[in-house]
């Protein structure tokens, strides 16, 4: 699509350093997108997100259509203006959230009928409606509407779901209104079935989307199955287009997916974990609520230069969580987002220096050894 493009700068085996050019700025890849579901990254200000060197954030069609509604956001200049974010914005189509409603929703050829969990109001979300809402939200990158099938599912159920998603993908791209520097991505489905992933990839390739996502993973299938699925799916995607693995994930998942050629990631894990007392560090995860931190003067991660690690001790963070102080959630969420963005920066630099294999091996080994200092403190 006009003035939206992906450029590969450097390859290291299957991993690649790249750049996505959009109407709202350039995105260096591989990239991690903090999740701002309701036009806010939980517990953090936009200024915090900017300081973490985040390049693009994600918001959600389903939640924003329910509250405050796309019409209000459109009148206020779109999500970016609404939340004071100047960079690129990607919006999920709402398919995953609709799946999680279970018995509260009915799927048919036209779309999904469901009741709002907020007030019981009935909605009919179709591919055309999802694309229209994302247009009103001002999404830099719009996602086509798809069905996210539960894990595990049979081959036949997965086939039917994938084929429905492909029909919806056709309707999505037909409903999409082109704007310079904006784009719509297709979503490859098919569960853990190679034949279905191949069929989905070919179908979407023929529609010529400017970018492609791999959906239906990180839903309980396990890391080995996810990596195996990526091994045979990624080579099917046009090398000139960005590749986005939806809803992933843990640092080890991201490292493994970059090794297989993925460019874009998103996940709620950094902020959700931060709100629950879990900090991501170069030595693995730390449960700051554990009593061993009650008098520990060290920073959460001595190799991190975020404001949390520079200014506050583990003992203080422990105290905040034990006292149920909101500041604890803020400081730990802020650290986690910075940890992820620092990791992505190191990944990009390692690919640039043709050193990604060595970097990833050391990174994973250090994390697998755990926080040894903590154990002996």
Active site residues: 92, 266
- Bridge partners (DSSP) listed for residue 212: 186, 243
CA distance 39 to 46: 10
CA distance 87 to 92: 17
Helix (H) or strand (E) holding 264: strand 264-267
What would the DSSP string read from start to end of 149-180? Answer: --SS--HHHHHHHHHHHHHHHHHHHHH----T
CB 59 within 8 A of CB 39: yes
- 3-state helix vs strand vs coil in the chain, percent to 5: 45, 20, 35
HSE-up of 81 (CA within 13 Å, CB side)?
10
Pair of tokens at residue 294: 């009650």
HSE-up of 73 (CA within 13 Å, CB side)?
28
Question: If you ran DSSP here, which 8-state letter would residue 280 be given?
Answer: E
């Amino acid at each position: 699509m006009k003035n939206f493009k992906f450029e590969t700068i450097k390859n290291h085996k299957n991993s690649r350093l790249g750049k996505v050019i959009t109407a709202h700025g350039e995105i260096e890849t591989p990239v991690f997108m903090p999740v701002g579901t309701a036009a806010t990254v939980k517990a953090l200000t936009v200024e915090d997100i900017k300081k973490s060197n985040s390049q693009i954030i994600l918001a959600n069609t389903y939640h924003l259509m329910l509250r405050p509604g796309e019409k209000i956001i459109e009148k206020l200049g779109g999500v970016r203006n609404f939340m004071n974010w100047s960079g690129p914005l990607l919006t999920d189509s709402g398919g995953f959230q609709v799946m999680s409603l279970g018995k509260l929703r009915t799927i048919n050829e036209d779309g999904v009928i469901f009741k709002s969990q907020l007030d019981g109001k009935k909605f009919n979300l179709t591919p055309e409606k999802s694309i229209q809402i994302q247009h009103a939200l001002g999404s830099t990158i719009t996602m086509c509407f798809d069905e996210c099938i539960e894990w595990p599912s049979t081959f036949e159920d997965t086939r039917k779901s994938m084929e429905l998603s492909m029909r919806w993908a056709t309707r999505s791209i037909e409903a999409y209104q082109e704007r310079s520097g904006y784009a719509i991505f297709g979503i490859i489905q098919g569960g853990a079935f190679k034949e279905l992933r191949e069929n989905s990839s070919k179908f979407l390739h023929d529609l010529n989307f400017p970018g492609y996502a791999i959906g239906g993973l990180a839903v309980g299938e396990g890391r080995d199955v996810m990596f195996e699925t990526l091994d045979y799916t990624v080579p099917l995607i046009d090398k000139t287009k960005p590749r986005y693995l939806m809803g992933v994930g843990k640092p080890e998942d991201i490292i493994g997916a970059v090794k297989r050629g993925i460019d874009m990631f998103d996940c709620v894990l950094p902020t959700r974990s931060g709100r629950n007392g879990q900090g991501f560090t170069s030595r693995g995860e730390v449960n700051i609520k554990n009593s061993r931190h009650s008098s520990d003067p060290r920073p959460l991660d001595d190799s991190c230069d975020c404001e949390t690690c520079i200014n506050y001790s583990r003992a203080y963070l422990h105290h905040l969580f034990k006292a149920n102080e909101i500041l604890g959630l803020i400081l730990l969420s802020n650290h986690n987002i910075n940890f992820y963005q620092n990791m992505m920066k190191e990944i990009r630099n390692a690919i640039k220096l043709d050193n990604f294999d060595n970097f990833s091996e050391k990174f994973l080994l250090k994390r697998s050894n755990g926080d040894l200092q903590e154990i002996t403190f």
